[in-house]
């Protein structure tokens, strides 16, 4: 009830207030501007009434019938609702602004008074009630009100509409009097145009077809200009919100946090790791000391820093985990001639055929049962469901989420002793194919998580391939401690604008049907909308999962292993998706800039050259693939740039760009290397690239000469500029007049069309024949009918 009364009052004032300038007055001004003279409009010769009454009065000039009709109309007008003046609209606007200000003030003060926790719950309930109101409550309310007013309230005629109709009738009467005569005649007495005489028959000649076509084209241009302005403003607003939300998602402190953790756990010696001894040195001298805060400079213990890293800033979530992935013994096939040289053989790792057996200490045969045995936790396999792990991609292959697990927990000395035990019991041996170290830290100062994964691959070639990955992410999102009202507002506005775009595209699909899917930019729009919806869903899932994990961490006081690998995958995919969405959103600016003459010319050139470019791309793909295959076969085992097909493609593209070291190819293949490099440079760099440029140059020259191949979208920019100048009154100035004159002189003439020209000549001939026949009828035939005077 508090909101119903002021809203009802505002709606009533807007609906029942007269316009300051009526539509009929605007019509009269437009007619007077077109005729370049003043119209003398007297009082209406009849009152606006029903169609039957008008027909009765048109058949006879009975004044009593007109009087009775007028009396009936006056009786109806007495029962009509009184309407307010146009000044009441100003009062309604002021009342609306005051109501909005009161609502904003109360919302702000209540938000400050509630506090952070209660404010979050209040905002969540507010957004929920808003969407429920928009999707459910308001449609039902509108339907019920419509039924109520249609069945209960009596429909009455509006006085303002009646007056508009009467004024339009007076204008039509005046034009009817004016155009009863032919175009080449005029009244002898001009008072006929200003008196109250009503002709018995209104004869209004149709407008000139050329003028009507010109006015219709001008109106279509106005509607198109309004659509363009609306589209550009809405999309710029949407793009701004998208960039704000995307930039808020990526914190600038993430790089600094990653650099700090990289210097702490992965020095230069990590990349030079080559054997098992190097791994244990890294684990005992770098990894374990970095996981625990050391004593202070005065040898005091690190009080209140339990669980913090060596930098005393980042807090580890739970504890770290080190797991080993193994391959089965005798899992490879040795040639018959070499079998007697090897006792056992260990094949490559396969996540679907890995070793999952339980062993005793030092990988001895398992003896005993689950309660009493000769094993240790590090020699018993745990699957991915137990560890809540997921497959991980290394430089060689995929690795499963399970393995033989060693937990990095306890004090620093306990972890060092346990690492020495693993070294003594040969935990890493011939069957080992990968060691994965995983842990997650949280920095409360910048509200960022860091998910750290170190991978040491042992492919069975007698060496190690170390790699690591540090992913920083804001997993708390809007629930974080750095949340600002502006971020929440921008995210809510982005979701609302995205919903509006979704409705707009659905309406376009239903309106255009299959034609909708024939335009490239419609697919871009669909990808932006669907990708944004998927990104919002992934973002909400990450926030809820993080909240659940942190609640579990708080409940157990950190004495639990927290695997954030799935959240790391979601964060990575969300980053890729956000980047692609921003790319296509920025790319769509090219479509909006098509109204620029140069940008529109570029689109016309590409459209004209599309056929030639398709054949060129096919030939280029064949030639380029041939050279890539040759380079891969020659250098896959000698140069890192050609070790895989994908690397060979990347390196070949670098050769085209001129960013390549030729000496490495010459040193590995002193004969074929220079020949292949020269052939590739000649065929691809010189011939194919030159052909591509020639196709574009020829298309550009053709489009530049033939105006029919160019788009007329650039004319809309000039039209919008003229409309803006006229709307603000600058067309009355000298500068405005010169600008409009220059634009009009720059408009290109229409292309010659034989059919339209011939029809134009036929119409002119028909008009001349009609005038000739009329002249003959008025002069010669009249002279023949005159009687001859008798002499």
Structural domain includes residue 784: no
Would the pLDDT of 177 be above 60?
no
555 and 695 together in one domain: no
- What integer pLDDT is reported at residue 96 of this predicted model? 85
Res 519 pLDDT > 90: no
pLDDT, averaged across the chain: 77
Same-domain status, 379 and 494 = no
In this predicted model, which residue has the larger pLDDT, 750 or 127? 127
62 pLDDT higher than 70: no
Rg, C-alpha atoms of the chain: 42
Domain stop point among 209, 237, 263:
209
Please tell me the least confidently modeled range out of 28-37, 247-256, 391-400, 695-704: 28-37
* pLDDT top residue among 146 and 641: 641
Averaged pLDDT for residues 687-711: 82
**pLDDT confidence tier of residue 582, bands split at 50, 70 and 90:** very high
684 in Cβ contact with 660 (< 8 Å): no
Strands, E assignment, 221-273: none
Higher pLDDT, 750 or 136: 136
What's the whole-model pTM score?
Answer: 0.65
Q: For residue 789, what is the DSSP state?
A: P
Q: Which pLDDT does position 321 carry in this prediction?
A: 92
Choice between 260 and 113, residue whose per-residue pLDDT is larger: 260
Look at residue 428 in the predicted model and tell me its pLDDT. Answer: 92
Are 25 and 168 part of one and the same domain?
yes
Dihedral of CA atoms 483, 489, 491, 494 in degrees, nearest 10, equals: -170
Is pLDDT of 781 > 70?
no
**More confident call, 489 vs 237:** 237
Question: Any bridge partners for residue 755, and if so which?
Answer: none
* Domain contains 93: yes
| CB-based burial label for 95 (10 Å; 0-12, 13-18, 19+) | middle
Same domain for 405 and 505: no
Q: How far apart are the C-alpha atoms of 720 and 704, rounded to whole Å?
A: 24
In angstroms, the CA 170 to CA 668 distance is 97
Residue 464, CB half-sphere, CA atoms under 13 Å: how many?
Answer: 24
Q: Are residues 329 and 285 in the same domain?
A: yes
Q: In Å, what is the CA distance from 255 to each residue of 539, 542, 589?
A: 21, 21, 30
Task: Look at residue 585 and tell me if it is in a domain.
Answer: yes
Q: Is the sign of the CA dihedral 583, 586, 587, 588 positive or negative?
A: positive
The answer, yes or no, to whether residue 288 has pLDDT greater than 80, is yes
Read off the pLDDT of residues 448-468 as tens digits, 9 standing for 90 and up: 889 999 999 998 887 899 999
Burial class (CB in 10 A: 0-12, 13-18, 19+), 547: middle
pLDDT, mean of residues 770-789: 58
Residue 603 has pLDDT above 50, yes or no: yes
Which secondary-structure segment (H or E) carries 473? Answer: strand 465-473
Looking at the fold, whether 176 and 247 belong to one and the same domain comes out as no
Report if residue 216 sits inside a domain: no
**Is the domain of 618 the same as that of 566?**
no
At which residue do the structure tokens 């279509």 appear?
220
- Domain membership flag for residue 297: yes
Indicate the angle between helix axes 485-512 and 520-555, nearest 10 degrees: 140
Q: Which range has highest mean pLDDT (117-121, 273-277, 299-303, 560-564)? A: 273-277
User: How does residue 777 score in pLDDT terms, banded at 50, 70 and 90?
Assistant: low
Read off the pLDDT of each residue in 741-752 and give the average, rounded to a whole number: 54
Judgement on whether residues 560 and 667 belong to the same structural domain of the protein: no
CA distances from 518 to 509, 521, 526 (A): 11, 9, 13
What is the mean predicted confidence (pLDDT) over 703-729? Answer: 74
Same domain for 506 and 432: no
The answer to whether residue 165 is domain-embedded is: yes
| Least confidently predicted of 23-27, 66-70, 163-167, 181-185 | 66-70
Q: Calculate ∠ Cα 493-496-502, nearest 5°.
A: 140
Q: Which of 99-113, 351-365, 367-381 has the highest mean pLDDT?
A: 351-365
261 confidence band (pLDDT: 50, 70, 90) = very high
pLDDT at site 174: 65
One DSSP character per residue, 306-363 reads TTB-TTSS-EESS-EEEEEEEB-BT-SPPPGGGGGG-S--B----TTSB----B-GGG
What secondary structure, in 3-state letters, does 100-111 show? HHHHHHHHHHHH
Dihedral sign (CA 357, 359, 365, 371) = negative
pLDDT band with cut points at 50, 70 and 90 for residue 41? low
**Bridge-partner residues for 439, per DSSP?**
452
Picking from 565, 590, 615, the residue at the C-terminal end of a domain is 590
How many structural domains compose the chain?
A: 5
On whether residue 80 sits in a domain, the answer given is yes
Instruction: Classify 437 as helix, strand or coil.
Output: strand
Q: Minimum mean pLDDT among 246-255, 422-431, 663-672, 734-743: which range? A: 734-743
* Mean pLDDT of the 521-525 span: 89
Collect all residues with Cβ–Cβ distance below 8 Å to 550 and sequence separation of at least 6: 317
Half-sphere exposure of 108 (CA within 13 A, CB side): 6
Residue 772 is assigned to a structural domain of this protein: no
What is the predicted pLDDT for the residue at 150? 66
Report whether pLDDT(58) > 60: no
Residue range(s) defining the domain that contains residue 246:
223-251+483-590
Q: Of the given ranges (179-188, 266-275, 774-783), which has the lowest mean pLDDT?
A: 179-188
- Average pLDDT for 501-509: 88
Verify that 283 and 323 share a domain, yes or no.
yes
Residues 609 and 567 reside in one and the same domain: no
- Asked if the model's pLDDT at residue 220 lies above 80, the reply is yes
If one counts every other C-beta atom within 10 angstroms of the C-beta of residue 719, the result is 19
- Give the model confidence (pLDDT) of 142-158 as tens digits: 777 777 666 665 554 45
CA separation (Å) from 61 to 58, 67, 198, 200?
7, 11, 10, 9
Nearest alpha-carbon partner for 743 in 725, 718, 726: 718
Strongest mean pLDDT among 139-148, 517-526, 728-737 = 517-526
Instruction: Please report, rounded to a whole number, the percentage of residues in the chain having pLDDT higher than 70.
Output: 76
Q: Predicted confidence band at 281 (pLDDT cuts at 50, 70, 90)?
A: very high
Please enumerate in sequence order all residues whose Cβ is within 8 A of that of 750, keeping only pairs 6 or more positions apart, or say none: none
10 Å CB burial of residue 612 (0-12, 13-18, 19+) is middle
Looking at the predicted structure, is the pLDDT value of residue 438 above 80? yes
Residues 267 and 346 in one domain: yes
The pLDDT of residue 745 is 60
CA distance 565 to 650: 30
The reported pLDDT for the residue numbered 581 is 93
Do 49 and 72 meet the contact criterion of CB atoms below 8 Å apart? yes
Residue 61 has pLDDT above 90, yes or no: no
Widest CA span of the chain, in angstroms?
A: 157
In angstroms, the CA 283 to CA 772 distance is 110
Domain end marker among 449, 473, 497 = 473
CA separation for the pair 63, 223 (Å, rounded):
46
DSSP string, 81-99: PP-B-TTHHHHHHHHHHHH
- Triad 304, 306, 311: Cα angle to 5°: 95
Element (DSSP H or E) covering residue 755: helix 754-785
Examine the pLDDT at 115 and tell me if it is beyond 80.
no
């Amino acid at each position: 009830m508090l909101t119903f009364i002021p809203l009802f009052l505002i709606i009533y004032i807007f609906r029942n207030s007269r316009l300051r300038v009526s539509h009929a007055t605007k019509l009269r001004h437009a007619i007077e501007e077109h005729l370049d003279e003043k119209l003398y409009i007297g009082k209406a010769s009849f009152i606006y009434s029903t169609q039957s009454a008008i027909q009765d009065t048109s058949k006879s000039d009975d004044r009593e019938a007109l009087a009775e009709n007028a009396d009936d109309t006056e009786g109806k007008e007495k029962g009509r609702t009184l309407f307010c003046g146009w000044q009441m609209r100003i009062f309604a606007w002021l009342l609306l602004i005051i109501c909005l200000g009161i609502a904003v003030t109360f919302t702000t003060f209540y938000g400050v008074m509630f506090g952070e926790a209660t404010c979050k719950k209040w905002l969540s309930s507010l957004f929920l009630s808003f969407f429920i109101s928009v999707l459910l409550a308001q449609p039902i309310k509108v339907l019920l009100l419509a039924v109520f007013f249609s069945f209960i309230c009596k429909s009455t005629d509006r006085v303002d509409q009646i007056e508009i109709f009467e004024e339009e009738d007076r204008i039509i009467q005046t034009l009817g009097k004016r155009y009863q005569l032919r175009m080449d005649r005029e009244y002898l007495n001009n008072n006929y145009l200003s008196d109250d005489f009503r002709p018995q028959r209104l004869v209004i000649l149709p407008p000139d077809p050329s003028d009507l076509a010109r006015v219709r084209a001008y109106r279509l241009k106005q509607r198109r200009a309004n659509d363009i302005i609306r589209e550009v403003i809405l999309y710029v607003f949407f793009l701004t919100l998208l960039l704000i939300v995307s930039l808020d998602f990526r914190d600038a402190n993430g790089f600094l946090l990653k650099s700090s953790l990289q210097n702490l756990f992965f020095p230069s010696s990590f990349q030079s790791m080559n054997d098992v001894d190097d791994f244990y040195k890294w684990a005992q001298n770098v990894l374990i000391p970095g996981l625990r805060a050391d004593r202070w400079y005065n040898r005091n213990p690190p009080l209140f820093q339990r669980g913090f890293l060596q930098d005393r800033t980042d807090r580890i979530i739970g504890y770290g985990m080190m797991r080993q992935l193994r391959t089965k013994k005798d899992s490879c096939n040795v040639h018959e001639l070499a079998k007697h040289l090897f006792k056992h053989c260990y094949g490559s790792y396969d996540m679907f055929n890995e070793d999952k057996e339980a062993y005793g200490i030092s990988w001895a045969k398992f003896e005993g049962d689950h309660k009493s045995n000769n094993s240790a936790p590090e020699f018993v396999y745990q699957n991915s469901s137990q560890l809540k792990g997921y497959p991980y991609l290394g430089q060689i292959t995929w690795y499963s989420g399970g393995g033989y697990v060693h937990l990095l927990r306890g004090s620093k000395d306990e972890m060092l002793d346990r690492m020495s035990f693993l070294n003594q019991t040969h935990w890493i041996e011939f069957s080992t194919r990968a060691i994965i170290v995983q842990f997650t830290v949280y920095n409360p100062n910048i509200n960022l998580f860091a998910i750290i994964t170190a991978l040491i691959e042992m492919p069975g070639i007698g060496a190690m391939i170390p790699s690591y990955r540090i992913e920083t992410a804001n997993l708390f999102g809007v629930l974080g401690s750095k949340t600002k009202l502006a971020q929440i507002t921008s995210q809510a506005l982005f979701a609302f604008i995205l919903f509006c775009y979704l409705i707009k595209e659905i309406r376009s699909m239903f309106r255009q049907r299959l034609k909708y899917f024939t335009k490239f930019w419609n697919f871009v729009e669909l990808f932006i909308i669907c990708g944004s919806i998927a990104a919002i869903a992934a973002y909400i899932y990450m926030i809820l999962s993080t909240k659940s994990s942190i609640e579990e961490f708080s409940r157990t006081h950190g004495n639990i292993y927290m695997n954030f690998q799935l959240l790391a995958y979601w964060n990575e995919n969300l980053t890729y998706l956000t980047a692609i969405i921003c790319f296509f959103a920025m790319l769509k600016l090219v479509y909006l800039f098509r109204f620029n003459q140069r940008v529109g010319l570029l689109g016309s050139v590409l459209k004209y050259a599309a056929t030639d470019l398709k054949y060129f791309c096919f030939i280029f793909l064949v030639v380029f693939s041939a050279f890539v295959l040759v380079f891969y076969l020659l250098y896959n085992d000698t140069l890192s740039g050609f070790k895989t097909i994908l690397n060979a493609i990347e390196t070949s593209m670098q050769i085209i760009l001129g960013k390549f070291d030729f000496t490495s190819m010459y040193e590995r293949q002193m004969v074929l290397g220079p020949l292949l490099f020269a052939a590739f440079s000649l065929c691809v760099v010189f011939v194919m690239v030159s052909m591509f440029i020639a196709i574009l140059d020829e298309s550009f020259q053709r489009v530049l000469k033939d105006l029919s191949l160019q788009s007329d979208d650039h004319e809309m920019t000039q039209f919008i500029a003229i409309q803006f100048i006229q709307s603000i009154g600058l067309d009355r100035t000298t500068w405005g007049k010169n600008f409009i004159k220059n634009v009009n002189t720059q408009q290109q003439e229409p292309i010659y069309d034989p059919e339209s020209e011939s029809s134009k000549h036929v119409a002119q001939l028909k008009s001349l024949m009609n005038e000739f026949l009329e002249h003959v009828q008025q002069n010669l035939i009249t002279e023949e009918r005159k009687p001859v005077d008798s002499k």
